A and B are shown apart, each in its own frame.
Chain A
Amino acid sequence: MAAGQVLVGMAEIKVIKGTGQLTCLGLGSCIGLLAYDAESGVCGMAHIMLPEAFKDKPVDKPGKFADTGVPALLAEIEKAGGNIRRLTWVFTGGAQVFKYGAGTASKLDVGARNGEAVNAHLKKLGARILAQDIGGTSGRTMVANIETGEVRVRTVQGGEKTLCQLKRVRAEAA
């Protein structure tokens, strides 16, 4: 990846400030969760795998779970100089990519549960959700460009589209 382009791998949390772009590659059942503070230009992204941490196991990577990932993302943003009371949120993913076959109505349905869990945690925070694109049967790649404020989502079958514009929020809020 070129300089300034940060890939957020499974279970990771990455934060950038002012410039560059954050990418969650190939989100299937996982969720890419983005939080942006327009004033400081701090933007964080978490690549969440599962709805909640296991009760009987230590959490090695808080970004892996929705319940530990949301507070961990807030902490990272604060550490980078962002104000967590000013955040706008975007999230995508939570698909069931196994479209064909008898087992597709999986009892586990990790994607849907991830989407619900992230939604519930954001609601608890009273978070301002600018955009979300979840569910369905297509994997998504989410790219947030901090310079332009553009958040784009790409799928194999549907091509690429702009999901939302982070900077417009700043103009409206001002």
Chain B
Amino acid sequence: MAGQTYEFDLMQMSAIREMANIGLGHATTALANVTGKSFNMDIPNVETVCLEEVPMMMGDPSDVCVGISMPIEGDVEGYTAFLFPWKSAQELWGMLLGYSPESPEDVDDLPASAMLEVGNILSASFMNALSDMTGLKIHATPPMVSIDLAYTIAASIVAEAELSDAVALAIETRLFGMENQQTTGYFLCVPTLEGLNKLFAALGIQGAA
């Protein structure tokens, strides 16, 4: 039901955490491969909340971010997204392009497509890892990029997710630590309840009601 917070038991929560660990581990490695820099991964928080609460959880809601939205299709449906605060996005651009737009107004086609490529790499490795782990068909659809407030980006994803009956929500607030700089990112995953239960079933865990 819309607006509802789902209760997951310990087993289900640890399965969500494990899937996030493995999926994001692969995504982080893929990002390290294209940028030539090493990234540390840390999952400080896995929470399930009701959809309207999500926009307040992606760091400072009034920070300018680069958001990459990646809808999931196949046996499991829903949305995943990465949010990079502006300074972190600039660091990523520096690694990928050798320069970075100074302000959001300076973002043109090249930096935008670099972020789309980051989205392709992250989502493909994330979904492949989940697929391998569960034997389910899970694939990414082409990513979309927005440069706006963290709140705006998260709210727009959540609204669409709710419309497509993404009733359940597992959210991971994510951090990418890097050697010297701090490249921080937030990860959002909004599967449908049906999709999440298919993942649970594939892992031999009882589904959520």
Contacts and interface: CB of A to CB of B under 8 A. Distances in A.
Interface of A: 9-11, 25-30, 49-50, 54, 57-58, 60-61, 64, 95, 97-104, 106, 108, 110-111, 138-139, 141, 156-157
Contacts of A60: 1-4
B3 A61 contact: yes
B142 A98 contact: no
Given A25-B62, A95-B156, A139-B156, 20 more contacts: A10-B55, A10-B155, A11-B52, A25-B61, A26-B62, A28-B156, A29-B159, A49-B155, A61-B52, A64-B52, A98-B67, A98-B146, A99-B146, A100-B113, A101-B116, A101-B119, A101-B142, A103-B141, A111-B156, A156-B148
Contacts of A27: 152, 155
Chain A at the B interface: mostly helix, strand, loop or mixed?
Answer: loop
B209 interface: no
A3 B156 CA distance: 29
A29 B104 contact: no
A29 B52 CA distance: 14
Nearest to A96: B156
A136 B186 CA distance: 26
Interface string B144-162: 1111111111011011101
A11 B3 CA distance: 10
Given A10-B52, A60-B2, A108-B164, A29 B144 contact: no
Contacts of A50: 159, 162-163
A99 B141 contact: no
A26 B152 contact: yes
Interface size class of B (residues with CB under 8 A): 35 or more
A111 B160 CA distance: 9
B2 A156 contact: no
A97 B104 CA distance: 13
Contacts of B76: none
Given A11-B3, A60-B2, A64-B52, A26 B159 contact: no
Given A10-B55, A49-B159, A64-B52, A103 B151 contact: no
8 contacts: A10-B52, A11-B3, A25-B61, A27-B152, A49-B155, A50-B163, A64-B2, A100-B144
Contacts of B28: none
A58 B113 CA distance: 41
Nearest to A102: B142
A26 B142 contact: no
A98 B69 contact: yes
Ordered nearest first, which 6 A-B pairs have the shortest CB separation? Answer: A139-B152, A26-B151, A28-B156, A98-B144, A101-B144, A26-B152
B3 A28 contact: no
A125 B115 CA distance: 44
Contacts of B2: 54, 57, 60, 64
B71 A29 contact: no
A112 to B, nearest CB: 12
